[in-house]
Amino acid sequence: MDNELEVIVGYTGKHLTAYVEGLPTIVVGRDLLEVRHNMLEAIEQHRADGALARLDGAYELRFRVDAATFINYYSGIFTKAALSRVTGINERQLWHYAAGMHKPRKRQLLRIQEGVRALARELESVELL
């Protein structure tokens, strides 16, 4: 889509923060749904003010999250041990990524992303009786 906006998301320990490069706004939310809602409101306000002339018609938000934000934000769902099992990455290394002590290389990021997506596909195929 031509009008795709990349939303950069960070984690503060209690809330998520997000911004779009070139947009003079930072939004906050308790979860990604609230961040999405708040970002859409901010974008519409900027469009109404004429500040987003480049954004014409429909658009889509694409959320970009670094490894530390992902691991910390979803820690209530994925323990480091569980994330280690679905990604094949050593649990200790995941702790280092979460703490910001190390930044994962591209290959490691792909392993995290592929492991989580594989789990999502598996869960999506399950039907409870």
Instruction: For each of the domains in the chain, give its residue range(s) and CATH number, in order of start.
Output: 4-65 (3.30.2390.10), 68-125 (no CATH)
- Burial annotation 74-98 (CB, 10 A radius, 16+ → b, else e): eeeebebeebbebbebeeebbeebb
Instruction: Sort 26 into a burial class: Cβ within 10 Å, 0-12 / 13-18 / 19+.
Output: middle
Question: What are the backbone dihedrals phi and psi of residue 101, each rounded to the nearest 5 degrees, phi first?
Answer: -70, -35
DSSP structure class, residue 3: S
Averaged pLDDT for residues 15-27: 91
The predicted pLDDT at position 51 comes to 64
| C-alpha R_g of the chain | 17
β-pairing, 16-20 vs 26-29, is antiparallel
Grade residue 19 by pLDDT with cuts at 50, 70 and 90. Answer: very high
Q: What is the pLDDT of residue 127?
A: 96
pLDDT in tens, 22-72: 888 899 999 999 999 999 999 888 877 776 666 667 788 999 999 999 999
Global pTM value: 0.80
Number of C-beta neighbours around residue 11 at 10 A = 19
Is the pLDDT at 18 greater than 70, yes or no? yes
Instruction: Please work out, in degrees rounded to the nearest 5, the angle formed at the alpha carbon of residue 54 by the alpha carbons of 51 and 6.
Output: 95
